[in-house]
Each structure stands twice: as structure tokens, then as C-alpha cells.
């Protein structure tokens, strides 16, 4: 269940360490949870803090530093199969508990019994008491937070992407992880080319999941990119857009290669590029 570290040198596996403590230390001295007796390793070299299913690696101001997947780092949110490098030694992080529960169980929302105080990975506070929503009735109410006063609220802006944490940024490769893999989204880029009017000849690449066409207040349609392909739907306006001369209904209609869309008096052609 717990994640583990596999210690190896020059490809030979030396030992396995289950991450069964909230804070595990790695270092040369014997008292470390992962003791590596080598002069390139600092006395207390690094620590791994585990909060439930997430583990965070942290450099404890070591002399020779840390690498994760070949990239020097100070602090890193460990992902399955990450390889931590300390001198000649390699520690592979294996976290496979996801495969041991069914996805349905895993997704279930649960309640934490006591509100966790803010953890500090360095200080290594014990993890909070956690229980599934059922079974643990009757313990102390969650009242530690003072009554919140009503007041104006400063909403967090989310249009600007958050600055990635300094430590994690170099270690995470360009493949910016999305919460959900967009499996099955058509790889081919579709294009709408304007056939008539002042913009005739212009191409619009449908790279977003949602593209609107038309004039607001007059006639608007939306083109959506879905795993099955591209669809056109009427959004607003008294008249409905035409596809190959046929008016849309209230339903979405899948677009096929070389379909001609007519919208607000402008004709456009839909096709796949390349």
C-alpha cells in the first residue's frame, strides 16, 4: 500500500525502503531511515514527507545536492517512477497504491475528521486523523476554526496561470500534466476557411475545445471539439446556421470533411488539415 524507495547503484538493486513514516530522512549517518554510507552523502542529506498518498522530497542543505530524473532540485513533489539521484546512488520512487483500489472507491469524497493544521514538511507534523465518511460518528466537532465573519471577499483570479513552484518546475518536463488526459481527442487539427465576404480566404484553426462563430446578438454558433470529432451547435439568433444548405435543429451536428457552414450570410468550409 505504502509507496516505497528502491536504492540502487550502477544498476544493482541494494535495498527497498517502504515510506511508512510521515517523514523519512536520507543521509550518511546511521540514524537516518535511509542510511547510505558514502562520503558523497551528507550526514542528513534529504527528507521525504508523505501526506496520505502524496510524497514530497526536500534537500536538507546537503553539500552535493539532489537530482530528480537528472535535474538538480531542492524540493520536489514525487511522482511514480521518479528517480532521485544522490551521488552515484539512485532511489526510485514507486507509488502504486492507485492500482490496488478500484477507481470508484478512490474517487469517493471523504471527510477528514479534524481540520488539519498547516503542515510544514520541514517540521514534520504528524498527519491528521482521517476517516471515511461513514463509521466514525460522534467525535469532536470541527470547531477549531473561529467563526468566520461575513465580509467582502477577494476572489482569486484564475485566468492568469499560477507561477509553478521553483523547485518543482525544472523537474517536471514540458508535458504539462492535465488533471484528465484528453484521451481520444482527434489529433488532426480541423480548420474553418471563410469562403465569402470581406474575410474570404481566411483560415481559422480549431485548436480550442470551443470556438464561437458569428455575430453576437445576430447569429452565433459554437464549434466544439470532442473525442468523437467536431460538432456545431446553434447558440443564439432567430435563424439557425445552415450546414450544406440544411438548417440546424436544436441538436448538435457532427461536422464532416468539406461541410459548408453558412452563418450570418457568410459561407465557410470545414476540413481537416494535413
Partner 1 sequence: MKVTEALEIFSQTHPGMVRSHNEDSVACEPAYGLAVLADGMGGYNAGEVASGIAVSVVVTEVSHSLQNASPIDRDETSDEELGVMLLRNNIQKANASIFHAAESQPQYSGMGTTIVSGLFYDNRVVVGHVGDSRMYRLRGEVLETVTRDHSLLQEQIDGGIISVEDARLSKNKNLVTRAVGIDAQVVPEIHVLDVLVGDVYLLCSDGLNDMVEDEDIQSTLYALQNNLPLAASQLIQMANDNGGRDNISVILVKVKGGFSVPRGWLAKSFAWFKR
Which segment (22-30, 37-45, 96-104, 194-202) binds partner 1 by CB under 8 A?
96-104
Q: Is 217 exposed, middle or buried (0-12, 13-18, 19+ CB in 10 A)?
A: exposed
Binding mask 171-210 for partner 1 (x = CB under 8 A): -x---xxxxx-x-------------------------xxx
Q: Cell 540514524 identifies what position?
A: 31
Binding mask 47-76 for partner 1 (x = CB under 8 A): ----xxxx-x--------------------
Binding mask 131-170 for partner 1 (x = CB under 8 A): -xxxxxx-xxxxx-x-xx-xxxx-xxxxx--xxxx--x--
* Tally of CA atoms within 13 A in the half-sphere of 1 that contains its CB: 4
Q: Contact between 247 and partner 1 (CB under 8 A)?
A: no
Which segment (25-33, 40-48, 65-73, 130-138) binds partner 1 by CB under 8 A?
130-138
Of 39 and 150, the one with the shorter C-beta distance to partner 1 is 150
Q: Report the 3 state secondary structure along 8-64.
A: EECCEEEEEEECCCCEEEEECCCCCCEECCCCCCCCCCEEEEEECCEEEEEECCCCC
Residue 234 Cβ, how far from partner 1 at the closest point, in Å? 8
Q: Contact between 249 and partner 1 (CB under 8 A)?
A: no
Q: Contact between 118 and partner 1 (CB under 8 A)?
A: yes
Q: How far apart are the first and last CA of the chain?
A: 47
Q: Are 97 and 4 in contact (CB under 8 A)?
A: no
Cell for 170?
Answer: 525544472
Total interface residues for partner 1 by CB under 8 A: 74
Amino acid at each position: 500500500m505504502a509507496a516505497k524507495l528502491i536504492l540502487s547503484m550502477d544498476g544493482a538493486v541494494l535495498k527497498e525502503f517502504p515510506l511508512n513514516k510521515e517523514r523519512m530522512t536520507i543521509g550518511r549517518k546511521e540514524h537516518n531511515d535511509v542510511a547510505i554510507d558514502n562520503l558523497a552523502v551528507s550526514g542528513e542529506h534529504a527528507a521525504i514527507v508523505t501526506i496520505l498518498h502524496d510524497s514530497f522530497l526536500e534537500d536538507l542543505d546537503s553539500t552535493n545536492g539532489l537530482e530528480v530524473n537528472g535535474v538538480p532540485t531542492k524540493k520536489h513533489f514525487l511522482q511514480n517512477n521518479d528517480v532521485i539521484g544522490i551521488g552515484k546512488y539512485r532511489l526510485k520512487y514507486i507509488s502504486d497504491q492507485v492500482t490496488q483500489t478500484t477507481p470508484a472507491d478512490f474517487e469517493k469524497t471523504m471527510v477528514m475528521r479534524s481540520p488539519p493544521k498547516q503542515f510544514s514538511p520541514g517540521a514534520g507534523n504528524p498527519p491528521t486523523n482521517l476517516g471515511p465518511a461513514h463509521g466514525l460518528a460522534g467525535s469532536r466537532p470541527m470547531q477549531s476554526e473561529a467563526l468566520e465573519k461575513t465580509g467582502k471577499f477577494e476572489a482569486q483570479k484564475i485566468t492568469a496561470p499560477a507561477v509553478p513552484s521553483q523547485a518543482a518546475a525544472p523537474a517536471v518536463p514540458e508535458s504539462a500534466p492535465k488533471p484528465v488526459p484528453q484521451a481520444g481527442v482527434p489529433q488532426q487539427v480541423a480548420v474553418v476557411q471563410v469562403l465569402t465576404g470581406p474575410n474570404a480566404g481566411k483560415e481559422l484553426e480549431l485548436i480550442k475545445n470551443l470556438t464561437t462563430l458569428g455575430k453576437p446578438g445576430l447569429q452565433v454558433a459554437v464549434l466544439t471539439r470532442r473525442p468523437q470529432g467536431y460538432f456545431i451547435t446553434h447558440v443564439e439568433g432567430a435563424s439557425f446556421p445552415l450546414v450544406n444548405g440544411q438548417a440546424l435543429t436544436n441538436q448538435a451536428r457532427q461536422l464532416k470533411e468539406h461541410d459548408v457552414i453558412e452563418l450570418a450570410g457568410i459561407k465557410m468550409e470545414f476540413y481537416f488539415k494535413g
